[in-house]
Structure 1
């Protein structure tokens, strides 16, 4: 693996050859870019961080730093996305039965039972308070 430059302000790696091949100009080249040692290139460039770590910089050099815990707002946003995804999942599971009912067709006893379970699941989802994230006891979707 070749060497690379690292920009601590942008947290990016730039292949060494890009400095001279026209990919960057004097005006677009990051002014803080430093040439990495082969050891640093092997450790950080094109590698996934270890569990619980992310790319950062310490003293202007690349480093694996602890991934910060999400903020309360991020937890809520994640919970909202999960809730909407589960609602869509539930809706996709009941759409055929809804269509049959709208057309005036009867459901079998098994279909009625499954529809009831999915509607109960949707009711439980509706009651989920996302502001309590990450401490949410998510309802389990019904089995088939």
Structure 2
């Protein structure tokens, strides 16, 4: 058997309750649930669902809430950092060739195109509409 805490949205095996109690971490809102309920609600949920505490105090499946504006902005910023890191990786050899004075005209042109792309990525507004960011297209490598 297992116990379920709606406040913690967690399961507690009966044979470990004394350990939680001794540690002072055992919630006071436990409800007994069967192993079948435990297995159902610790399995992988359906796409778009997550385990929540139901209105009856038992586990239930609920919709995953949409990301907050702050989360969308953070995701867009993460994408920006990935694009910038990729551009840096593409340009690394060309930059070395440029510093050594051994860059070909073709590679100088490629480097210039990627530097322009990198500046475009830096200039993208991720605040106004972070869900629909219009990222520039990278140059063909």
CA distance in 2, matches of 1:109, 1:35: 74
What SS does structure 1 have at the residue aligned with 2:67? Answer: coil
More helix by share: 2
What TM-score results when the alignment is normalised by the length of structure 2? 0.83
CA gap 1:5/1:118 in 2 versus in 1, 3 angstroms:
farther
72-81 or 9-18, which moves further after superposition?
Answer: 9-18
CA distance in 1, matches of 2:93, 2:106: 14
Unaligned stretches of 5+ residues in structure 1: none
Equivalence for 2:124: 128
- Of 70, 79, 82, the residue aligned with 1:82 is 79
What TM-score results when the alignment is normalised by the length of structure 1? 0.81
How many residues end up aligned between the 2 structures?
A: 138
1:115 equivalent in alignment to 2:116: no
CA contact (8 A) 2:11 2:38 kept: no
Unaligned stretches of 5+ residues in structure 2: none
What SS does structure 2 have at the residue aligned with 1:31? Answer: coil
1:40 equivalent in alignment to 2:37: yes
CA distance in 2, matches of 1:73, 1:16: 40
In the TM superposition, residue 119 of structure 1 has moved relative to its aligned partner by 1.7
Equivalence for 1:57: 53
Give RMSD over aligned pairs.
2.0
In the TM superposition, residue 69 of structure 1 has moved relative to its aligned partner by 1.1
CA distance in 1, matches of 2:28, 2:58: 14
